[in-house]
Structure 1
Amino acid sequence: MAAEDQAPRTEPRPDKAKKRKKPKKDKWGQPLSAASPEVEPSVEPAQEPPAKGVAPAAGAEAAAAPEGYEPSKVVASGLPYTTTEADIRKLFEFYGPLGSVQLSRFPDSGNFRGLAFVCFESDEDAVKSLELDGFKIGNRYMRVERCRVTASSNKKRKTEFQSDPEKSLGCLSAYVGNLSWNVTEKDLRDFFKSSKIASIRFAIDKSTGGSRGFCHVDFQDDESLEKAVAMNQSELQGRPVKVAYSVSNRG
Structure 2
Amino acid sequence: MKEGKRARRHQMLNKSLKRKETVYVGNLFFDMTADDLRTAMEKFGVVEMASIIHDNRGLSKGFGYVRFSTIEEAETAIAQQNMQVLEGRTTVVQFANTAMSRSEVDKTAPTFTLFVGNVPYEMTDQDVNALFEDIHNIVDVRIPVDRRSGMPRGFLHVEFLDIPSAVRAKEMLSLRDPYGRKLRINYAAPMKMQQRRSIPEEPEM
* TM-score, L = length of structure 1: 0.33
TM-score (norm 2): 0.40
Larger RCO, structure (CA 8 Å, separation 6 or more): 2
Between Structure 1 and Structure 2, which shows a larger proportion of helix residues? 2
